[in-house]
């Protein structure tokens, strides 16, 4: 911990995570060289227009990813576990905001969690908004339990051009945080990529980036630690807990 920064025992900690924290659990990231967006186009699978134009193709994309996430769900890594340990042992509030739609933070033990881009483990009807837990495949023939329609069921995820979830709750924790830690995100996608600027403008929090390599927003952080999440995250959590 840099000498210039002291963390009080009741400090509030906010952690933003992206696909990089799940990479060592076997889930692909989006923008690494072999990432998801090197295989399919965002415009074809992750927008409401894509779903309207070719719902079968969008369903096949999410059915494949949901199946992979189900396998990985049993495999939270040391970074997920370290964040759960921090939440358990830190006297102040610890909030994890994740861009990820996998359930690895839950499997790793994190409880105070915001899925701002939705989750693979839920489906929602575009016709009546009825949302249900979901594990298997989905198609245009899937019947909505709420309104009985077919063709409206979709993954409960936030596509590009759609409004992220729980933005009010996110704003409240960003404004009140004393330590903001960004983990495993490239800083490409807004509004998540803008959270560091929100925190910096308020000017009270220490800000840290833990990533494999500097993100687009790296220069905005008070400090950065670079390496695999399963190394840099547990090490940083130990450092924070050692201040107690």
Residues 197 and 220: their CA atoms lie apart, in Å, by 7
Alpha-carbon 138 to chain mean position: 23
Q: Of these residues, 105, 117, 120, 156, which one is catalytic?
A: 117
Smallest gap from Cβ 91 to ligand BV8, in A, equals 27
Q: Cβ distance 182 to 215 under 8 Å? A: yes
Smallest gap from Cβ 244 to ligand BV8, in A, equals 26
Interface mask toward ligand BV8 for 123-152; x: CB under 6 A: ------------------------------
Q: Please calculate the CA angle 13-78-158 and round it to the nearest 5 degrees.
A: 65
Catalytic site residue 117? yes
DSSP state of 150: B
Q: Phi then psi for 168, rounded to 5 degrees? A: -65, -45
Smallest gap from Cβ 141 to ligand BV8, in A, equals 22
- Does residue 108 touch ligand BV8 according to CB under 6 A? no
- Does residue 117 touch ligand BV8 according to CB under 6 A? yes
Smallest gap from Cβ 10 to ligand BV8, in A, equals 29
Residue from 58, 185, 206, 217 in contact with ligand BV8 (CB under 6 A): 185
DSSP state of 196: H
Interface mask toward ligand BV8 for 38-57; x: CB under 6 A: --------x-----------
- Token reading at 67: 């199946």
- Does residue 103 touch ligand BV8 according to CB under 6 A? no
């Amino acid at each position: 911990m840099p000498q210039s920064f002291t963390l009080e025992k009741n400090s509030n900690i906010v952690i933003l995570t992206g696909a990089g924290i799940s990479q060592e659990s076997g889930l692909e990231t989006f923008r690494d060289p072999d990432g998801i967006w090197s295989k399919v186009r965002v415009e074809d699978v992750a927008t409401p227009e894509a779903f309207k134009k070719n719902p079968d193709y969008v369903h096949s994309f999410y059915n494949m990813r949901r199946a992979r996430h189900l396998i990985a769900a049993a495999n939270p890594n040391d970074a997920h576990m370290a964040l759960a340990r921090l939440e358990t042992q830190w006297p102040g509030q610890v909030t994890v905001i994740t861009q990820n739609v996998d359930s690895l933070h839950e499997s790793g033990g994190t409880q105070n969690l915001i899925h701002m881009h939705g989750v693979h483990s839920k489906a929602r009807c575009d016709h009546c908004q009825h949302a249900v837990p979901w594990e298997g495949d989905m198609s245009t023939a899937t019947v909505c339990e709420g309104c009985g329609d077919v063709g409206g069921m979709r993954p409960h995820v936030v596509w590009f051009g759609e409004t992220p979830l729980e933005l009010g709750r996110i704003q409240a924790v960003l404004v009140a945080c004393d330590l903001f830690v960004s983990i495993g995100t490239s800083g490409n996608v807004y509004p998540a990529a803008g959270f560091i600027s929100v925190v910096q403008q308020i000017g009270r929090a220490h800000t840290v980036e833990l990533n494999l390599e500097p993100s687009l927003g790296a220069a905005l952080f008070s400090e950065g630690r670079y390496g695999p999440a399963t190394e840099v995250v547990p090490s940083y959590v130990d450092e924070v807990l050692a201040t107690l």
